[in-house]
Amino acid sequence: MKLIKIIFILIFTLSLLSFSTCDTDRKNNKKDNSSNNIVLIKTTYGEIKIKLYEKTLLHSENFFKLINEKFYDSTLFHRVIPDFMIQSGDPDSKNAQSGQNLGNGGPGYTIEAEFVPEYLHKRGAVAAARMPDNVNPEKRSSGSQFYIVQGKVFTEQELDKIELNVNTTEKRKFFMSFIEQTENLELKNEIDSLQKIKDMAALQKLSLKLEHIIDSAYTINNELFKFTEEKRNIYTNIGGAPHLDGGYTVFGEVIEGMDIVDSIAKCERNKMDRPIEDIRITISTVK
């Protein structure tokens, strides 16, 4: 009996050691995989090296998946806007005719938004393109299209204006949903009636009356959009596209090759912002 007990203890101890070793191996493998987060974009203008972020796992893993499938190879930078961004990832661009309008292609799925406060649209940020809010209220990302921010430097006054514009837009959306609620049907009917007879004076008076109510109701359930001092310092010194923060998922940044991004952003383009000269890419992981 005593011998059996000793054998049982030995087996139990070995199993614990085995579990611990396997668990450590899994952690080490996970660490190794997460550290391998650098990708290389080769373009006809030169090379751009990008680091993908770990906190936007859905986007980073999807990007790696498409790279491994050679999905991006031979796609174009199909949309370029100086002082703003350069965009790629549309599979329809691979065999596109000269001047063909692009930007609607993808892998057939979208990705849930992953907004991380510290991931900004600073100069060099890599973010996912998406369909506009009116058809995509959840702000889901394109399954493949992405853009690299070239951006520009902003003044404090320009950042103040962006804050105001973003908050005004969000409050307007809130108001539209507010008056559609059953308990506010009378208010909606009053607004519709005044609009129908084009009584602008009465509408203005009603608007001023409602402004405080809407502001109070909005701030109870929502935080006002505001740049922190750290973000202001970045956008007034490094630059970027601050008006996109909180609206599009940033999932990486350029660590080498911003001069190539700048060169691409300067290229000649048509009225649809497509470069006249095809700028093709291939993307690979960096071991």
- Parallel/antiparallel/unpaired status of strands 146-149 and 85-88: antiparallel
Residues 213 and 113 in one domain: no
Please report, for residues 42, 73, 213, the alpha-carbon distance to residue 56 in angstroms, rounded to integers and kept in the order given.
Answer: 23, 23, 37
Residues 6+ apart with CB under 8 A from 194: 202, 203, 206
Residues 147 and 81 in one domain: yes
The predicted structure's pLDDT at residue 160: 97
The predicted structure's pLDDT at residue 184: 84
Report field, pTM of the whole predicted structure over 0.85: no
Asked if 89 and 103 touch (Cβ cutoff 8 Å), the reply is no
Residues 211 and 245 in one domain: no
The predicted structure's pLDDT at residue 3: 41
Tens-place pLDDT, residues 198-222 = 889 888 888 888 887 788 888 877 8
Tens-place pLDDT, residues 175-196 = 888 888 888 888 888 888 988 9
Mean pLDDT, range 75-85, rounded to an integer: 98
Is the model's pLDDT at 78 over the cut of 80? Answer: yes
Tens-place pLDDT, residues 45-77 = 999 999 999 999 999 999 999 999 999 999 999
Residues 143 and 74 in one domain: yes
Asked if 85 and 152 touch (Cβ cutoff 8 Å), the reply is no
Tens-place pLDDT, residues 240-256 = 999 999 999 999 999 99
CATH code at position 112: 2.40.100.10
128: Cα separation from own chain's centroid: 4
Structural domain includes residue 22? no
Asked if 256 and 49 touch (Cβ cutoff 8 Å), the reply is yes
pLDDT band at 173 (very low <50, low <70, confident <90, very high): confident
CA nearest neighbour of 281 among 111, 97, 147, 84: 147
Number of domains in the chain: 2
Is the model's pLDDT at 229 over the cut of 70? Answer: yes
The predicted structure's pLDDT at residue 106: 97
Mean pLDDT, range 13-34, rounded to an integer: 39
Q: How far apart, in whole angstroms, are the C-alpha atoms of residue 188 and residue 186?
A: 5
DSSP string, 208-222: HHHHHHHHHHHHHH-
Is the model's pLDDT at 122 over the cut of 60? Answer: yes
